[in-house]
Structure 1
Amino acid sequence: MGRASTQALQSGPRARTMKERRTMTDRSAVGAPFVDLPAGRMRGGTEGGVAVFKGVPYAAPPVGELRWRPAQPHAGWTGVREAVEFGPSAPQPFIEGGDPVLGGHGFPPFDDDCLTLNVWTPAADDARRPVMVWIHGGGFVSGSGSLPYYSGETFARDGDIVVVTLNYRLGPLGYLYLGPGHGEPEPGNFWLTDQLAALRWVHENIAHFGGDPDNVTVAGQSGGALSTAALAGHPAAQGLVHRIILQSPPFGLALPDPAGCAERTDMFLKAVGVSDVEALRQVPWQRLVGATMALFGPCARWGYWPTPFLPVIDGITLSRHPVETLLCDGAADMDVMIGWTRDEANFHFALPGAGYESATRRQVLDRIADTFGDGAPEVYAAYERTRPGSRPVDVLMDLVSDELFRVPALQLAEGRAEMGRPVWAYQFDFATPAHQGRLGAAHCLELPFVFGNFDNWSGAPFLEGVESGVRQGLARSMHQAWISFVRDGRPDHPGLPQWPPYEAGSRSTMRFDSVVSAMDDLAGHSRLLHLGASR
């Protein structure tokens, strides 16, 4: 990550105070949409022909004594609450000048009073439209449901659906484990309690916005896809989720148990300069974010995806790896769409400055040996054959893409196919010309095509040089497929080649590129290399 802006961490350019945002009167809002909720009356605005309600609180502010506590109900408000500006994003590192791939993961203002959501709807009526809840990614330390990237306007307008995006606690405020070993009786995974609270809010309130609480699709990308899987199989979410979309889920991450979190928690407390939880509750969030930045180096391992925080299998809020829940219990019968980008790992490893351009064959062989032991030379050769002229860094990127994203997704698809459960699989193959083509079809690149809102991505470097005609054609195919899945659980639509479900015989996978086509066993090389020829 780049250098964090100290000024942004301290305050951020806030046009109004939180109190002013919540009580201001928009005198130009003649005909603005209103909703009457159990919590109080609310006035929204309109954008692109759809109604939008921003900064809607779905839980109590997790501040003071509620810091590192499970999400609590919001007390509501009196009078008319203005819902025309986004709430602040969760505290997170801010990269001054943006990053060379997305351009930015989250932008000020930041505040630990961040548990708000946003709703886009064709009309706040009683039409009971399908609902899509979007959960952003960001390596568990960054991101925001308030980013223009994730505006629900296109989905609401093009698909006649209601879209919800949300902010939830990130980094140490959401993922730091402070269990009994650190004097704290509460369980972990505060991010998960936030997301569960948001789903309950949707179930109880979305009908007021024209949505159907009995037809809710939860979709997420990267860390947000792991969240989606955790929610789908969670006992507290039964009846709140009806189908899911998993975009680049990092199911290859080994999630720690409480004992496995102890060293990292101690490291964080040392970086902050406190020794107990009560003292930590008094620390301004800016110092917590600064300590997060200090953890990236010590927590990094060569050839692995970098993140200082992970969900914890605490046995209370999360009893097993989220991917396992999709093969059993209530989640087994859900409609599932899952996919990955062809070159996931290029996002972190491909660009100069990432530290991998000069990787040697010996280094990569040692990294492969972590997984394949003495078989590392044969695996290296197998990757070389799939990419003639490849360098050691290319083999490394293909390995990490497989281990963290593609192969675990294939394992899920294989498992559900064996059970006769519905699953639709895709691979995003479109390579961007940005950065002299080094990124390929990198992690996150499918997002602007899924949302179909390229104007909102004008500052994203990874779209530079993409030809507009190809871009729009591929976006139409993907955007409409997502709409179709949200509406009825199948991604097929008239503008798309037939997309059969992933089954044991065919392993049909939709390939999204300048030419879209369904292919049998598209990721067969990865599947055979990692899962064995018997699968």
Structure 2
Amino acid sequence: FHGVPFSRAPVGDNRWTKPEKPTALPYAEGDYYDATHARAGCPQLCELPSPQYVCPDQVSINAEIDEDCLHLAVYLPSRLTKVTIMVFFYGGAFTAGANGVLLYDARFIAEKGDVVVVVPNYRVGPFGFFYQDTGDTDAVLGNFGIWDQIKALEWVQENIQSFGGNKKSVTLFGQSAGAQSIAVHMVNNYSEPLFHGAILESNPFGITYKNKTEAQDIADKFAKHMGCRDEATTAVDALACMKSKTMEETLAALRNFSIVNQINPNSLTQVFEPWAPVLDEDLLNEHPYYTFLKGNNHDKPMIMGFAKDEGMFFILQIFPEKSETLKTRGRTLSSRGECIKVINYKINRLYILYCGKLRNSECDNRNPMDDLVTDYLFTCPSRRVMNADASSNNVWWYMFNQTWSFPEFWENYTKCYDLVCHSAELPYLFDVDKLTDLSFTDEEQVLANNIIKYWSNFAKSGNPNQMSRD
């Protein structure tokens, strides 16, 4: 079932407000709702590699973008009696992604895993993570993309039994920004009763989030960029002006808004996710990383893991080409000192460990940066979270280490052809070779089947190595 609405459309005056339950299905004609095709993805400027697989505004996918985007897809197995539920949240750095793209077609997870899979859209970019404090106590401040996810989980609790699902057995799984979203659900009280287990794939715990002051500053600058804010304009009037802009006008302004230049230099990792959850003192009082370390997260079983070369995907966004000096966008990694300048990290042990062998030579100096970013954003914080949580909950850990036989999947990131980069497990998890021009080897098909088995086992039993709780 595609295009099932779980919220009223966040358009017009409803832009930048919390999602609300729709009054009724929007029947086009007759007494039925057409759920045979995907609806639009949420507004975005999707600049991910291989957009034909992951971007909703690609003609080849037959999915558009529109503010009326809060729909979900439901994939069913052949058995329809109290089936375990798995809810997937897509990644995309909180700036891109949609449930109608080829990569996230979950039919084979449902079929092979004998689970119901729900894939909701949620708002991204400034439509999902714009933060505005107007001074009106009734106004919603931000984190709309996360509120969308919560509303989708509430829909599951209210409606999934009509699809044969068991609302008392709901597992969240997501990758990258989707995994970060799940970490938010693991630490806030609004989400706690809505799910029972979590699978976090490639969660960059090391990326920091903006506090309210930082987020408000970005919002004011974006409003000014859109021609809606000056020294004489109130926050309420600025917000009304921004809501009057069309989706196309807002995206055009976003394209020309250099948000990266607005990032706090002491929070350099935010360059990878300039629009992201805000520490709003409602959903989030602190970064989930610290909540986990304190043991204040929800008591639920969890799988965590990452790919071997996670960092390269991020390094390539800054340094797409190999060069002896790597002079790209005004940055240089030609020496150990410049390496430290770029990462803004002046600890001597890291200096020696990661950058000690860099010279002006023919070697690709992006490789040690891959190691550093992988460790700093993924490996080290994830291991600390896992060790802290394992004292009171069941936690499983994995590292994905399979290179692709179809490297053209990330057509714009050739450096990843021989590595195991960010998102490397997704084609196997969704078994996408049957829906695309990709082709798995026999060994890769076994791997795909095993990932689906482990994930669905965990959803059913709380243990990836056990099929049921019986």
Tell me by how many angstroms 1:146 deviates.
1.6
Query: Which secondary structure state, in structure 1, belongs to the residue aligned with residue 33 of structure 2?
Result: strand
Distance 1:180 1:128, change over 3 A: same
- Say if 1:145 and 1:166, in contact at 8 Å, map to a contact too: yes
Query: Which secondary structure state, in structure 1, belongs to the residue aligned with residue 222 of structure 2?
Result: helix
Query: Which secondary structure state, in structure 1, belongs to the residue aligned with residue 214 of structure 2?
Result: helix
The amino acid across from 2:168 in the alignment is D
The amino acid across from 1:392 in the alignment is N
* 2:134 alignment partner, one of 176, 180, 190: 180
* 2:452 alignment partner, one of 479, 498, 505: 479
Tell me by how many angstroms 1:329 deviates.
7.3
Query: Which residue matches 2:397?
Result: 425
Tell me by how many angstroms 1:57 deviates.
0.5
Distance 1:273 1:203, change over 3 A: same
| 1:147 pairs with 2:101 | yes
Query: Which residue matches 1:203?
Result: 157
Tell me by how many angstroms 1:103 deviates.
5.1
Tell me by how many angstroms 1:335 deviates.
0.6
Q: How many angstroms apart in 2 are the aligned matches of 1:109 and 1:311?
A: 25
Deviations 1:384-441 (A, max 9, x none): 8xxxx96432111111111112221111111123x24211011111223633655510
- Say if 2:295 and 2:389, in contact at 8 Å, map to a contact too: no
Alignment of 1:262-411 (within 5 A): 262-275=216-229, 276-294=238-256, 295=258, 298-299=261-262, 306-326=272-292, 331-350=297-316, 354=320, 357=323, 358=326, 359-361=333-335, 362-368=337-343, 370-380=344-354, 391-411=364-384
Query: Which secondary structure state, in structure 2, belongs to the residue aligned with residue 87 of structure 1?
Result: coil
- Say if 2:78 and 2:111, in contact at 8 Å, map to a contact too: no
Distance 1:254 1:481, change over 3 A: same
Tell me by how many angstroms 1:363 deviates.
2.1
- Say if 1:220 and 1:228, in contact at 8 Å, map to a contact too: yes
Query: Which secondary structure state, in structure 2, belongs to the residue aligned with residue 316 of structure 1?
Result: coil
* 1:91 alignment partner, one of 43, 51, 54: 43
Distance 1:476 1:124, change over 3 A: closer
Deviations 1:439-467 (A, max 9, x none): 51000111011222323353xxxx7xx86
Query: Which residue matches 2:69?
Result: 114
Q: How many angstroms apart in 2 are the aligned matches of 1:92 and 1:351?
A: 18
| 1:441 pairs with 2:413 | no
Query: Which secondary structure state, in structure 2, belongs to the residue aligned with residue 208 of structure 1?
Result: helix
Tell me by how many angstroms 1:376 deviates.
4.0
Query: Which residue matches 1:237?
Result: 191
Q: How many angstroms apart in 2 are the aligned matches of 1:101 and 1:491?
A: 32
- Say if 2:209 and 2:270, in contact at 8 Å, map to a contact too: no
The amino acid across from 1:274 in the alignment is C
Deviations 1:317-366 (A, max 9, x none): 32222334446678442110001111112223248962564232232122
| 1:169 pairs with 2:132 | no
The amino acid across from 1:440 in the alignment is L
Tell me by how many angstroms 1:182 deviates.
10
Distance 1:279 1:333, change over 3 A: same
Alignment of 1:454-469 (within 5 A): 454-458=433-437, 468-469=441-442
Query: Which secondary structure state, in structure 2, belongs to the residue aligned with residue 82 of structure 1?
Result: coil
| 1:415 pairs with 2:388 | yes
Q: How many angstroms apart in 1 are the aligned matches of 2:51 and 2:152?
A: 30
The amino acid across from 2:146 in the alignment is L
Q: How many angstroms apart in 2 are the aligned matches of 1:437 and 1:232?
A: 31
Q: How many angstroms apart in 2 are the aligned matches of 1:391 and 1:182?
A: 53
| 1:73 pairs with 2:27 | no
The amino acid across from 2:23 in the alignment is A
The amino acid across from 1:309 in the alignment is W
Q: How many angstroms apart in 2 are the aligned matches of 1:70 and 1:281?
A: 14
Aligned residues: 427
Distance 1:303 1:329, change over 3 A: closer
Q: CA RMSD in A?
A: 2.8
- Say if 2:113 and 2:452, in contact at 8 Å, map to a contact too: no
Tell me by how many angstroms 1:208 deviates.
0.6
Deviations 1:72-106 (A, max 9, x none): 111013632111111110011145xx735885433
Gaps of 5+ in 2: 58-62, 230-237, 327-332, 408-413
Distance 1:180 1:488, change over 3 A: same
Distance 1:396 1:183, change over 3 A: farther
Query: Which secondary structure state, in structure 2, belongs to the residue aligned with residue 371 of structure 1?
Result: coil
Q: How many angstroms apart in 2 are the aligned matches of 1:176 and 1:383?
A: 42
Distance 1:326 1:334, change over 3 A: farther
Query: Which secondary structure state, in structure 2, belongs to the residue aligned with residue 174 of structure 1?
Result: helix
The amino acid across from 1:285 in the alignment is M
Query: Which secondary structure state, in structure 1, belongs to the residue aligned with residue 278 of structure 2?
Result: coil
Q: How many angstroms apart in 2 are the aligned matches of 1:382 and 1:101?
A: 37
Tell me by how many angstroms 1:477 deviates.
2.2
Query: Which residue matches 1:105?
Result: 55
Percent identity of paired positions between Structure 1 and Structure 2: 28
- Say if 1:346 and 1:397, in contact at 8 Å, map to a contact too: yes
Q: How many angstroms apart in 2 are the aligned matches of 1:104 and 1:383?
A: 37
Distance 1:436 1:111, change over 3 A: closer
Query: Which secondary structure state, in structure 1, belongs to the residue aligned with residue 3 of structure 2?
Result: strand
The amino acid across from 1:363 in the alignment is E
Distance 1:440 1:88, change over 3 A: same
- Say if 1:346 and 1:438, in contact at 8 Å, map to a contact too: no
Q: How many angstroms apart in 1 are the aligned matches of 2:133 and 2:270?
A: 27
Q: How many angstroms apart in 2 are the aligned matches of 1:177 and 1:331?
A: 25
* 2:7 alignment partner, one of 51, 59, 72: 59
Distance 1:124 1:471, change over 3 A: closer
Query: Which secondary structure state, in structure 2, belongs to the residue aligned with residue 345 of structure 1?
Result: helix
Query: Which residue matches 2:410?
Result: none
Q: How many angstroms apart in 2 are the aligned matches of 1:102 and 1:181?
A: 42
Q: How many angstroms apart in 2 are the aligned matches of 1:290 and 1:188?
A: 21
TM-score scaled by length of structure 2: 0.83
